[in-house]
Amino acid sequence: MTDKIIQAVLDFLNRVFVYPEIVTTLIAILPIVEARLAIPIGLGLGMSYVKSWAFAFIGSSLIVPLLLLALIPFVKWLAKTKLFHRLGEVIYEKFESKSKSVGDGGGEEAVSPEAKRKSDLKKMLGVFVFVAIPLPLTGVWTGSAVASIVKLPYGKAVASVIGGNLVASLIILLLCRFFNAYINYIILALAIIAIVVVIALIVKVIIHKPKTEAAEATTNDGEDGKTE
């Protein structure tokens, strides 16, 4: 049953986009799934291991320069809008929490060139390792956001994120090679993980208390304490 469902989805994608290379590249560009899902999708569409990996890696890497420039500014803009402020705040808080494992971009800047070089090197390694481990929400989208938050210089950020993406995509390729007989189940598992992540995000947005409301609640609690 699972095989039939996955194959029906693959056939649909193939009919819509005609070329499996296009399908693989477009999926690799999407947040959350990225090359992790694009590689097994490419294999499921009949592409070779090398082609599946190449188009998935290229697709997920092409957007890195743009993400480093625009992702965090866009999320901050969302947080200021009336309609999407909850979504913007939740996403930024998620990125900010992830950045703590790499380095604090809100602290003081390194005072000497040598200190800055060491700081940048540490951040580069942190971003590289973060993206290289193919876990949920550790891909190029989150990695680019993390690099921006910790204020890693643009060129070094591009190199770190794409380098990590190279390792992560090769790990996924090896897993698909070793478990080739279960490729449809790999696709299904990754799709389910992506759906769960999206649902969790929606729930957080619904229950999230905007910063203005949280500040007002804190102020009111303080005033109540003084009057008692």
- Give the model's pLDDT for residue 187: 83
86: closest CA among 200, 202, 217?
202
φ/ψ region of 77 (left if φ > 0, alpha if ψ in -120 to 50, else beta) reads alpha
Structure tokens at 66: 């743009």
Taking only the tens place, the pLDDT of each residue in 113-124 is 888 888 889 999
CA pair distance 160, 120, nearest whole angstrom: 11
Buried b (16+ CB within 10 A) or exposed e, 87-101: bbbbbbebbeebbee
DSSP letter string, 178-225: HTGGGHHHHHHHHHHHHHHHHHHHHHHHHHPPPHHHHHHHHHHHHHHH
In angstroms, the Cα distances linking 214 to 82, 94, 219, 228 are: 16, 17, 9, 21
pTM here is 0.83
Q: Summarize the confidence of residues 139-162 as an average pLDDT.
A: 95
Digit-coded pLDDT (tens) for 184-216? 888 888 888 889 988 988 898 888 777 655 545
State whether the Cα torsion 77-65-134-122 is positive or negative.
negative
Encode pLDDT of 46-77 as tens digits. 889 999 999 999 999 999 999 999 999 999 99
